[in-house]
Chain A
Amino acid sequence: MHRTGELYGHFKTPGQQREAASLGMWVFLITEIMFFGGIFLTYAINRSMYPDIFAEASRELNVRMGGINTAVLIASSFTMAMAVWASQTGKKKQLTLFLILTLILGSVFLGVKYFEYAEKFHHHLVPGRNFQFPGDVGSRAHAQLFFSLYFGMTGLHALHMIVGAGLLLWLVKESLRGRYTPQYNTPVELVGLYWHFVDIIWIYLFPLLYLIDRH
């Protein structure tokens, strides 16, 4: 087991080991980018086919909650970046603090998302037999398409947030045991990469879902 952060036998230097780890993380993130890319493509094609209904359906989303969540997520990316900084400079207490702050901000995001979802259920905007939307059968079907994409995209994003929160809990636990030092902080760096990736997905989701037509 790799418990003390020592060098694995097949690497020559800690730097080489660290670079290999971050390269591997990037390769994983690129598979994630392609995964989300396909979904964004589905969104783009459907929006180009039904632009008016998509704009109308988008106005049903709570732009205040979406905006607050965007700010919360950006703040959490900042605290995550600061956690990486603390681990690199050997500030163990600050590392734990920034990890906990990131975890709290991530939880706030998920909490706001819960209230948003609940609101959609109350307004009969969840695709299915209770879906209600003004207009004829055709526009109702296309509005359901928008909300299917909304729940699919934000749901997958939230799932990634939940995985990230689990990873942060683990980092908090390990950081309390003083595991991370300027010589060995690869897990903090890699979870950071993942957390920022999840932020980037939301940076696109916010304007594409909430801000189609707000004038």
Chain B
Amino acid sequence: MSEHIVSRGIYAGIGATLLIFTGITYYAATVDLGPLNVVIALTIATFKASLVVLYFMHARYSPRRTQLVIVAGFFWLALLLGMTLSDYLTRAWQSI
């Protein structure tokens, strides 16, 4: 079985997109959007990280088995962050 070779054009396109969104991240941080600022920053960062994982790290072209391991890893990370923050971020509600 031969490996999938990602073209130079795709790499260049992804690299340029990552640079453009770095600029957008900076610009978004200079506008006051209240609590939305952090949401936008993390959404852009996650979009950029997804591009790196899918194209630079070839996850899109990897065998299903590898993809399953990657998804499972991020699922556990989501559990760690989600369960802990759902505790900490709701503690203030109790004191009402």
Contact with A along B64-96 (1 / 0, CB 8 A): 011001101110110011001100110000000
B12 within 8 A of A: yes
Of the A-B pairs whose beta carbons lie under 8 Å apart in the complex, a sample of 10, sorted by A's number, is A19-B63, A26-B66, A40-B81, A48-B89, A77-B15, A80-B56, A81-B56, A192-B57, A214-B30, A215-B32
B31 within 8 A of A: yes
Residues of chain A contacted by B66 (CB below 8 angstroms): 19, 22-23, 26
User: Residue of B at shortest CB range from A67?
Assistant: B26
**Residues of B in contact, count (CB < 8 Å):** 51
A166 within 8 A of B: no
* Complex Cα spacing A193 to B54, Å: 11
* From A29, A33, A80, A213, contact of B37 by CB (8 A): A213
Q: Are B15 and A16 in contact (CB under 8 A)?
A: no
* From B15, B49, B85, contact of A41 by CB (8 A): B85
Q: Are A207 and B45 in contact (CB under 8 A)?
A: yes
* From B19, B31, B62, contact of A71 by CB (8 A): B19
A97 within 8 A of B: no
* From A70, A85, A200, contact of B6 by CB (8 A): A85
SS of B interface (majority): helix
Q: Are A211 and B73 in contact (CB under 8 A)?
A: no
Interfacial residues of chain B within 1-47, with CB under 8 A of chain A in the complex: 1-3, 5-8, 11-12, 14-15, 18-19, 22, 25-26, 29-32, 37-38, 41-42, 44-45
Q: B52, B55, B57, B70: which has the most chain A beta carbons within 10 Å?
A: B57
User: Residue of B at shortest CB range from A44?
Assistant: B85
Residues of chain B contacted by A130 (CB below 8 angstroms): none
Residues of chain B contacted by A82 (CB below 8 angstroms): 8, 11
* Complex Cα spacing A186 to B57, Å: 13
Q: Are B81 and A34 in contact (CB under 8 A)?
A: no
* Complex Cα spacing A207 to B7, Å: 30
Knowing that A41-B80, A81-B15 touch, tell me 8 more A-B residue pairs with CB under 8 angstroms: A26-B70, A29-B73, A37-B80, A44-B81, A74-B22, A78-B14, A196-B52, A204-B42
Residues of chain B contacted by A30 (CB below 8 angstroms): 69-70, 72-73, 76
